[in-house]
Amino acid sequence: MNVFIKQWEIALVIGLIFGLLVFATALFWIMGKVRPQGDFSELKMRTRSWWLMATIFVLATILHPVITFISLGLLSFFALRELSSISKNVREADRRVLIWCFLSIPIQYYFAYIGQYSLFLTFIPVFMYLWIPFMLAIIGETEDISRSMSVLPTQLMFTVFGVSHLAFLVSLPDIEGFDIGGRALLLFIVFITEMNDNFQFTWGKLLGRYKIIPKVSPNKTWEGLIGGVITTVVVGYFLRFLTPFSEIEILIVCGVVAITGFIGDVVVSAIKRDIGLKDTGSTIPGHGGILDRIDSLALTGPVFFHIVYNLYYV
């Protein structure tokens, strides 16, 4: 009976997600009519993109676990392909080693699927960290090889290792008193992370004056960051039933997630600034490429996972 109630709570959150999208769509349409001189095109475009992103993540969460793992694995695949294709620090010779990076994706996600924590945690940071430089050395082209030995493992860590933590959440065993399962944890971190991105962007647009790092990301303001963190903490508090956290824990965790999401966004912004691109791709209208959308999740996923794991499984 308790599980049945919890499933209804997940359905409630899904309804809330799409309800917020309906509200945002209507709000920006009304604002455009009331203030035709205002530029709300980016907000409207982002909202349309959110419909697509929300649908994908919700389906990946509620369908069979195998579909969830495959979906997130494909997300890592496309993100890695996108990042490697735009990187100016990848040599032509490195393309032959990238195949090993792509082959590591199903292995990493298999370890997550079977819940093998030790292998999951060490496969990419240890084994692939050794294997990639060795494969680069075998090719025999040593010019700029040290740079490649740094770039390829970093790309793998960001797009595969970080994102795969989202999948491992589904494999976590039930916690006493919290039988809603890992699906709820996955839904929570994805929703909170993406809402934090949206909150920071919106507050920055409405109130932003003082820039944080204008040379890296001119649109990032202290008003957007602080407003986004506070709003994320408030929303996360009312969604605490999707997690095993206490009231104090959820406030701290949501604050950490909000700041970590900001860091992930800034890191990818710095990469794009180095390459000279506004977006990493054009896969998602209004949001750029895949990497533009998972830049925050690539960091909030592992941080959230290890907070949960160390508090409730160690």
Tens of pLDDT along the chain (314 residues) come to 344 445 666 777 778 777 777 877 777 677 667 776 666 666 666 677 677 777 777 777 777 789 889 989 999 999 999 988 888 777 888 988 999 999 999 999 999 999 999 999 999 999 999 999 999 999 988 988 999 999 999 999 999 999 999 999 999 988 887 777 788 899 899 889 988 988 898 898 888 889 999 988 888 999 999 999 999 999 999 889 889 999 999 999 999 999 999 999 999 888 888 887 766 655 555 556 788 778 899 999 999 999 999 999 98
**DSSP H helix total and E strand total for the chain:** 13, 0
Quick one: residue 63, left, alpha or beta (phi over 0 = left, psi -120 to 50 = alpha)?
beta
Domain ranges of the chain: 2-312
H helical segments located in 35-62:
41-62
Candidates 282, 256, 181, 264; CA nearest to 220 is 264
DSSP, collapsed to helix, strand or coil, labels residue 180 as coil
- Cα dihedral 39, 42, 45, 46 sign: negative
Candidates 258, 288, 242, 254; CA nearest to 196 is 258
Structure tokens at 127: 């084994």
Phi, psi (degrees; rounded to nearest 5) at 288? 80, -130
Candidates 264, 262, 253, 258; CA nearest to 294 is 264
Rounded Cα gap, residues 40 and 45, in angstroms: 9
Contact 137, 148 (CB under 8 A): no
